[in-house]
Chain A
Amino acid sequence: MIYDQARYTEGDKHEPLLSEKDTTTVEVGGTDSPLPDDLTRDDLTLPGLSEPELARHYTRLSQMNWSIDSGPYPLGSCTMKYNPKFTEDVAADPNAAIHPDRSADSAQGNLGLLYGLQEYLAAIGGMDAVTLQPPAGAAGEFTGILVAKAYHDHHDNDRSEVIIPASAHGTNFATAAMAGYDVVELTADEDGRVDLEALKAAVSEETAALMLTNPNTVGLFERDIVEIAETVHDAGGLLYYDGANLNALLGRGRPGDMGFDIMHYNVHKTFATPHGGGGPGAGPVGVVDDLAAFLPSPRIEKTDDGEFERFEPDHTIGKVHGFSGNWLVLIKAYAYIARLGDDGLADASAKAVLNANYLADQLELAVPYGPFHHEFAATAGDRDAADVAKRMLDFGVHPPTTKWPEMVPEAMLTEPTEIESKRTLDRLAEAFNNAYSDTDEAIETAPSRTTASRIDQVSAARTPRLSWQALDDE
């Protein structure tokens, strides 16, 4: 298949900026103003366009954008699955659009939804208590590490280090640093998993936590997870589960049963809420009983007579979001989980793992590490993975994540998810193989059929132009 993306071209640019279509300046203040002039700005300059003009502008922009509804989007570690349409409708219920400071008595519907989702997530993760407040995965990580810190502090146990495998998501390192911890990086064993001996050497009375993704970022399950947990716990540390890859485990393994004390869930991955071009997501955090008292406030409980109440955990860390997190996203996640139920959740993981294995099997590229689950890291070998990826764009598929994790040279981290059919996977494999075996010139100059041809990101960063005002100044 060959793909042609929409283009609207005007000279040396595509769809003009709003500011190039209209720029209107209005004076602010003056005699009709309700405020004295020294409390107002002087003027305001923005585009002033009619509704039909705006409808065309944004429709055109949308047509110059790839999405999961456009075609395959197998970005490794991103879990780009189909976002069921009906979840948008339930989230748009006007009765759910209430202020977060409403009294509990007058907000029983919203509290009921939050309670229900807390319960679902606790069951799915094998956790005892859940907060829904963190607005994204990285915010969930930060919440989890703050909870770990509060737990250690509560026991007068000052610890300074967080251990993280080298192949972990960058957010893990940044999170630990933001929470004030020193990062101890753990290299993998030759099979690609946690090196137990290296872990034993790394843990100490300074270990606050080990942050682990399981299956890891090349899709491998940490077979030694029980021993890993014992090693961390024996040192007095806590075991943190990064939920980025939870889509591999639904119904077949629960972090709580593996010895994890804290986990976050990426509901915009595992539970199919739309990524929205980068967000919003949600990053609920689950913990075992011993840590429940430290979770953010408020949490929701159900009374014996079926009412829902907010309560403040005894040793709460306070808040990690101004209000209650990304409410609309949480509704969609609840609806998705309810739609699938036990069997659907288990089947989602089964088909996600099946799809990854089938796709890998069709590729001419080698996959150095296995057995993998819902994602795999193929290597482009002596080809540049980023160039191969650019060429794939011309074949009507989005390429995988490239050049990460670094343990695989020229990595192409691929996660097709459960939503792709065999036919689509065959087409995806064809795009992979065609791009991989194409000429140097073809892959170095690709893409040619997308809205923009190859973009020079280096010079864009060297001379930052971050607004239309910056363009006007040139």
Chain B
Amino acid sequence: MTQTDGSPFAPHTDAETAAMLESIGVDTEADLFDIPAEVAFDGEFGIESRSEQEIRGELRRLFARNDDLTEFMGRGHYSHYVPSIVDHLSDRAEFLTSYTQYQPEITQGFLQALFEYQSMLVELTGLPVANCSMYDGATALAEAALLADRVRQTSGHRILVPEFLRDGKRSVLENYVDGAGLVVDAYPMDDGNVDREALVDLADEETAMIYAENPTVRGTIEEGLTEIGTIASDTEALFCLGSDLVALSLLQEPASVGADVVVGEADVLGLSTSYGMGLGIFATRDAFLRQVPGRLVGVGEDSDDRRAYTLTLQTREQHIRKERATSNICTNQAWVALRAAMHIASHGPDGLVDLAEDCVRDAAALADRVDRIAGYQAPVHDRHHFREFVVRSDQPADRVATALEAEGFAVHAIADHLLQICITETNAHATDELIAALQEAA
């Protein structure tokens, strides 16, 4: 059945419409519009209405045009198995179809879930303040730089980032900080870790923030975090650390290495592969509480002296503070945060640590197998790895990636002769086939 007239989601019968118009005192719906004729539109977008069934078929056929590839891709967007309980509970309409909690008395459920999410981030980062979401890791990093600009004790206007920072992340960062007059400079890497000698030379009183990642975008685990923290504090720059929820479950606690802000990808739990949709972590120290961007859920009491949850410290936000707000963010990723919290809870601490340890073991094991194929060296960096690693190929990397695609695999080609391969529990079943395809393409 093709819908031809009216919205299927407007319940009005003709009789009700007529009664409502009569009550208002006008003849037609058109009479209610106060749009000058010179800018009025005739309604012809050329969009044909289709039935629910037709659209489901149309989009099923469209998405079937994506090649059915087994992905060994990471670099900021990861695939972990999301248990069914996360889908079923987060899809409950009371969560999914609710709005921001501007009336906390009637939205205690979502507020508590977000408070629990914040608490989980506090545990994972060791920092006492976590907001209830940023759009993604890239915008969270950008907001961290703006926070550094607001709280900086020096005249610094430089943000130092690793030379390996993903292009997309760097571009977002540059777009966000340009208006504040900050500039972004790269420091070199040394075999997949921060080149700390070079960083010491670069960091000076002009530096507002030093950003490092653990794991890095190349999958290496950073071994000099404490020293990086010291370099930052010696120059009175903020130390911002990028990570993700799974890595945080195992790797050094950010607070223990002097991190002032933690950002990164929280979507690694709760979302799985979704064409880059994200959830940004933002956690920081108490001292910067009133400079935090985005929404915070706090605990208060209701008039019956019961514990109650509410959005709090809203005077930081744009709807109150306007151009003096800490950020323009309003709509955030609350539902994804709910899903991440559910996913964390479903793993529990044992499950999270196990999952994270597998990310180390599986990457090492796969790199070892790749290294044994003639024509490849892996891992390129002599470091511990998390989920992913870089491979040097004798053949041009593009050619290898294309050959793998023909065999049903997707990997990153990141430089002329460098591939990057990412393994998690969602593609681990296909490693034998990947190895065979790599052999074929060598």
Contact = CB atoms under 8 A, between A and B. Distances in A.
B27 to A, nearest CB: 12
Contacts of B306: 9, 12-14, 452-453
B46 to A, nearest CB: 6
A174 B298 contact: no
Contacts of A469: 119, 122-123, 128
A373 B275 contact: no
Interface residues of B, number: 190
A68 B107 CA distance: 12
A392 B327 CA distance: 32
A366 to B, nearest CB: 16
A468 B93 contact: no
Contacts of A456: 300-303
Nearest to A23: B349
B19 to A, nearest CB: 7
A106 B349 contact: no
Contacts of A225: 36, 39
B437 to A, nearest CB: 15
Contacts of B361: 34
B17 interface: yes
A420 B326 CA distance: 36
Given A223-B34, A322-B137, A178 B327 contact: yes
A202 B240 CA distance: 41
Nearest to A78: B99
A223 B330 contact: no
A241 interface: no
A322 B349 contact: no
Interface stretch (B197-205, B247-255, B368-376, B388-396): B247-255
B273 A464 contact: no
Interface string A194-221: 0000000000000000000000000011
A189 interface: no
A455 interface: yes
A464 B135 contact: no
A96 B60 CA distance: 9
Interface string A59-73: 111111111111001
Nearest to B359: A34
A98 B92 CA distance: 25
Interface string A381-394: 00000000110010
Interface stretch (A231-239, A285-293, A343-351): A343-351
B118 A467 contact: yes
Contacts of A73: 99
Interface string B46-87: 111111100110111011111111010101110100000101
B49 to A, nearest CB: 3
Interface in A428-474: 445, 447, 450-457, 459-461, 464-471
Given A65-B107, A66-B107, A398-B103, A173 B85 contact: no
Given A106-B410, A460-B310, A461-B312, A346 B136 contact: no
A406 to B, nearest CB: 11
A33 interface: yes
Contacts of B299: 460, 465-466, 470-471
Interface string A298-337: 0000000000000000000111111111111101001101
Interface in A268-284: 268, 272, 274-281, 283
Residue among A59, A123, A274 having the largest count of chain B Cβ atoms under 10 Å:
A274
Contact of B252 (A40, A62, A78): A40
Given A179-B179, A252-B40, A358 B23 contact: yes
Contacts of B56: 86, 89-90
Interface residues of A, number: 196
B428 to A, nearest CB: 15
A170 B318 contact: yes
A251 B335 CA distance: 31
A339 interface: yes
B73 A68 contact: no
B16 interface: yes
A393 B101 CA distance: 13
B439 to A, nearest CB: 21
Interface in B9-41: 9-12, 16-17, 19-21, 23-24, 26, 29-30, 32-36, 38-41
A280 B330 CA distance: 10
Residue among B94, B118, B272, B304 having the largest count of chain A Cβ atoms under 10 Å:
B94
B303 to A, nearest CB: 4
A136 B135 contact: yes
Nearest to A177: B323
Contacts of B325: 170, 173-174, 177
Nearest to B67: A106
A281 B305 CA distance: 35
Contact of B130 (A337, A338, A467): A467
B273 to A, nearest CB: 5
Nearest to A355: B20
Nearest to B307: A13
Contact of A341 (B50, B133, B333, B346): B50
Contact of A46 (B272, B273, B348, B384): B348
A31 interface: no
A274 B9 contact: no
Contact of B108 (A64, A419, A468): A64
A274 B339 CA distance: 15
Contacts of B251: 35, 39-41
B117 to A, nearest CB: 10
Contacts of A138: 318, 328-331
A137 B330 CA distance: 8
Interface in A243-258: 249, 251-254, 257-258
19 contacts: A41-B253, A54-B345, A58-B89, A69-B97, A96-B63, A99-B71, A176-B323, A226-B36, A251-B41, A252-B40, A276-B98, A277-B95, A342-B48, A348-B10, A373-B33, A453-B105, A453-B304, A460-B298, A460-B301
Given A39-B223, A323-B136, 8 more contacts: A80-B99, A86-B55, A124-B45, A276-B336, A319-B138, A340-B47, A350-B29, A470-B299
Top 9 closest pairs, chain A to chain B, by CB = A323-B276, A341-B49, A276-B335, A460-B300, A180-B179, A322-B138, A100-B276, A278-B334, A48-B348
